[in-house]
């Protein structure tokens, strides 16, 4: 028990997933009846202008009676995303070497400019003048 007489929720089993500015905590906890449930906590770090930082946390509770459907829907959603978009991460905030379109020269655009300039060019033989 803690100081105010309330029982603290004991963590039975825990795992941590660090993902950039986010950290996910997966914790198995016990109910008062000694049954288990799962909490998933997302903790995201925010940096203030003065260099100090703080965390925002969001937590969901998943109980045993919902595990089967939760797993099915989670698998369905993740499979859909991978099937539709693949495993490659395309978000610029996840790629350290990402350059915006206007920062990188493209072969297509330079070839197109050359083609445009030669299409408008008329070949003149100076012997004709």
> In 10 A of CB 5, how many CB atoms?
6
Q: What's the rounded Cα separation, in Å, for the pair 45 and 53?
A: 7
| Residue bearing the bigger pLDDT, 108 or 24 | 24
- For residue 52, the enclosing domain spans 11-88
pLDDT tier, 88 (very low <50, low <70, confident <90, very high otherwise)? confident
Q: Does pTM top 0.75 for this prediction? A: no
The fraction of the chain above a pLDDT of 70, given in percent, is 62
Please report whether residue 52 resides in a domain: yes
> Which pLDDT belongs to residue 75?
97
Please report whether residue 80 resides in a domain: yes
Average pLDDT, the chain: 78
Closest C-alpha to 32, from 8, 13, 14, 12: 8
Please report whether residue 74 resides in a domain: yes
Please report whether residue 2 resides in a domain: no
Q: Where are the alpha helices (DSSP H) in 8-122?
A: 64-85, 107-119
For the chain, the domain total comes to 1
pLDDT tens readout for residues 19-64:
988 999 999 999 999 999 999 999 998 888 998 989 999 999 999 9
């Amino acid at each position: 028990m803690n100081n105010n007489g309330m029982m603290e929720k004991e963590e039975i089993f825990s795992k941590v997933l660090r993902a950039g500015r986010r950290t996910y905590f997966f914790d198995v906890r016990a109910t008062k009846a000694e049954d288990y449930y799962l909490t998933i906590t997302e903790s995201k770090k925010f940096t203030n202008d003065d260099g100090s930082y703080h965390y925002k946390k969001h937590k969901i509770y998943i109980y045993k009676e919902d595990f089967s459907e939760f797993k099915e829907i989670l698998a369905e959603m993740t499979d859909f995303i991978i099937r539709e978009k693949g495993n490659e991460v395309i978000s610029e905030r996840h790629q350290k070497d990402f350059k915006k379109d206007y920062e990188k020269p493209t072969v297509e655009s330079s070839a197109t400019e050359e083609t445009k300039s030669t299409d408008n060019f008329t070949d003149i033989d100076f012997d004709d003048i």
